Amino acid sequence: MSAPDPVLSAHELAASLVSGSRTAVQLAEDCLARVRERDPAVGAFLSVDGAKILEAARASDERRARGAPLGPFDGLPVGMKDVIAVKGEPLTCASRMLETFVAPYDAHVTERLRARGLIPFGRLNMDEFAMGSSTENSALGTTRNPVDADFTPGGSSGGSAAAVAAGMVPWSLGSDTGGSIRQPASFCGVVGLKPTYGRVSRYGLVAYASSLDQIGPMAHCVEDAACLLDAIAGPDVRDSTSWREAPPSFAEAAARGPDRPLRVGLPKEYFGEGLDAEVEASVRAAVETLAAQGCEISEISLPHTEYAVPVYYIVATAEASSNLARYDGVRYGHRAEGAADGIDLYFRSRGEGFGSEVKRRIILGTYVLSSGYYDAYYLRAQKVRTRIREDFIKAFETVDILVTPTAPTPAFRRGEKTDDPLSMYLADIYTISANLAGLPCLSVPCGKTQSGMPVGVQFIAPHFAETTLLQAARLYESARG
Amino acid sequence: MKNDNAMDIDYVARLARVALSDEEKATFAKQLGDVLGYFEKLKEVDVDGVEPSAHPYEVSNVWRADEPGPAFTVNEALANAPARRDGQVVVPKVVEDA
């Protein structure tokens, strides 16, 4: 796999469309050619409807020819994780359960993309129902890390990260419940951003754990991530957890940079046992770069960090067991043949339609909510969740932003953790807390290991402080060179 | 490994309405026993007087105007149904013959 073509950064492509040096149809054809050429080795896409993409590109070129483009990004393709609804396209969640499901409506983010002339491009592979950290739980395809095919791309948004890293699309959307945007971004060497909970509407995002799920951008650079966040963020009455205030322009804020030296906190719990030495060296070098840019660095403590993984796997599986109860084999989704009665249909359709990890999480979530165990597991986890959030609020009294490794290791080998769910769950140890607390965060590439695998550094900001998040990440990215 | 955290997998699978094979039951019981063992860590945390969080930050009720809008046609609503007839979803018989 050749290195991604740098010309595929979204803002540069947009400039070329504006200047007329290329058309949207040429760009779409170029991306489709790259998918044909490169995706057999990567496996990022579950499907791509080339005819529909070219039709949308022609419409974009016509708007530009009339002098009426729908904004600066009109005509740019956006890769879509197969958990986000695009009307008339498959919405499989990489599950046998939804293998033939066609989305009957657009997600809010899809409506917003279309309103800006952006073109939904293909359906990207993922762990089934976004449950997993390597994309190996997909029931419908195998995705390999574009940097080295023996390694996983991370997950669950592994297809979204790999498609960008391999240069097949300039940017993509993923979803992040416990690290599913940031960890694959780190593993594949791209930028991945999880917005503040509520910043982006979840309408049309297939639910996994509703108090944690957020849609976010994956891109080649921080500036592109800011531009795509501008496109998708904003209030929506159809998601009651959608934040009601309109967001500022993130792209402008990122370009402007911080107006005073940033106070950067390093949570000591994120630099302890289990952190790979090469990852630590890369992240510490990134911190040095920030210090050289005038940031004030201090060590802080998030004392409840070690409880984040157990809290997450109780809260997330409990919510999943409830959300996934809708797959009953009746109204949509897989239906078992020859069921004796309605209940038998329910049992067997779910037994056949769901893969192992989904069943495992449904069972676990059902158990922690069941009579006799609710207080010991679910209620206690919700209380510890409060403690975890309080840790962050206290930390942000003295610092503007936190910097940590995104994942404890670089990408791991395919098959390495598939038989050991607990070890797979621990791959999320640095990303989960931000979901539990609802904080905006992103991963930026900060180097490579000796064997050439990418490493990401994570930035975490206070609620709704995406502006600070992007400014800090951009400051680092510019100085990194 | 001794497992003090065994769950009654048959009972939980029944609650969850998921048919599991014997092999799945054996594998899940072992794996989830390990996971539940790991959850024991939470007992170390002092949570006396701590409010549980169901949400990442405080939100009160959110309302929107209840206004009629475009809705699916019957065909659109049934487009993904595994079996349909006469504008309705077909399901196995749920009522005994009289």
pLDDT-based confidence at B64, cuts 50/70/90?
Answer: confident
Rounded to whole angstroms, how far apart are CA atoms A172 and A46? 14
Q: Chain A: nearest CA to B2, how far in angstroms?
A: 17
- CATH classification at residue B3: 1.10.20
Residue-wise pLDDT tens digits, A195-243:
999 999 999 999 999 999 999 999 999 999 999 999 999 999 999 999 9
Rounded to whole angstroms, how far apart are CA atoms A301 and A456? 21
Using an 8 Å Cβ cutoff, are A266 and A297 in contact? yes
Distances in whole angstroms, Cα of residue B96 to Cα of each of A308, A341, A358, B90, B93: 50, 10, 34, 16, 8
Query: Does residue B94 form part of some domain?
Result: no
Model pLDDT, residue A425: 85
pLDDT-based confidence at B58, cuts 50/70/90?
Answer: confident
Q: Is the ipTM of this complex over 0.90?
A: yes
Query: Does residue A398 form part of some domain?
Result: no
Model pLDDT, residue B98: 65
Domain count, chain B: 1
pLDDT-based confidence at A81, cuts 50/70/90?
Answer: very high
Domain count, chain A: 1
Query: Does residue A152 form part of some domain?
Result: yes
Residue-wise pLDDT tens digits, A298-341:
999 999 999 999 999 999 999 999 999 999 999 999 999 999 99
**Which residue, among A206, A183, A218, has the nearest Cα to A425 in the 3D structure?**
A183
Query: Does residue A147 form part of some domain?
Result: yes
Model pLDDT, residue A4: 43
Model pLDDT, residue B4: 53
- CATH classification at residue A179: 3.90.1300.10
Residue-wise pLDDT tens digits, A257-266:
999 999 999 9
**Paired residues of A193 in beta bridges:** A442
Residue A139 lies in domain: 6-256
Q: Which residue out of A133, A160, A180, A433 is catalytically annotated?
A: A180
Query: Does residue B32 form part of some domain?
Result: yes
What is the 3-state secondary structure of A187-225?
Answer: HHCCEEEECCCCCCCCCCECCCCCCCCEEEEEECCHHHH
Residue B28 lies in domain: 1-43
Q: Is beta strand A119-124 parallel, antiparallel or unpaired with respect to A45-47? A: antiparallel
User: In a mutagenesis test of the B interface, which of A176, A239, A379, A384 is the best target, namely the one with the most B β-carbons within 10 Å?
Assistant: A384
| Mean pLDDT, chain A, whole residue set | 96
Rounded to whole angstroms, how far apart are CA atoms A395 and A131? 30
Owner of token pair 């982006």? A200
Query: Does residue A42 form part of some domain?
Result: yes
Query: Is A370 labeled as catalytic in the residue annotation?
Result: no
Model pLDDT, residue A424: 84
Query: Does residue B10 form part of some domain?
Result: yes
Query: Does residue B21 form part of some domain?
Result: yes
Nearest Cβ partner of A370 from B15, B28, B82? B15
Query: Does residue B90 form part of some domain?
Result: no
Rounded to whole angstroms, how far apart are CA atoms A314 and B94? 35
A20: pLDDT strictly greater than 90: yes
Model pLDDT, residue B96: 74
- φ and ψ of B62, to 5 deg: -115, 130
Token readout for A187 is 């593993």
Q: Which residue out of A9, A134, A156, A321 is catalytically annotated?
A: A156
Give the residue on A whose Cα is nearest the Cα of B58. Answer: A241
**Paired residues of A281 in beta bridges:** none
Owner of token pair 């800011």? A226
Q: Do residue B56 and residue A306 have CB atoms under 8 angstroms apart?
A: no
Cβ contacts of A322 on chain B, cutoff 8 Å: none
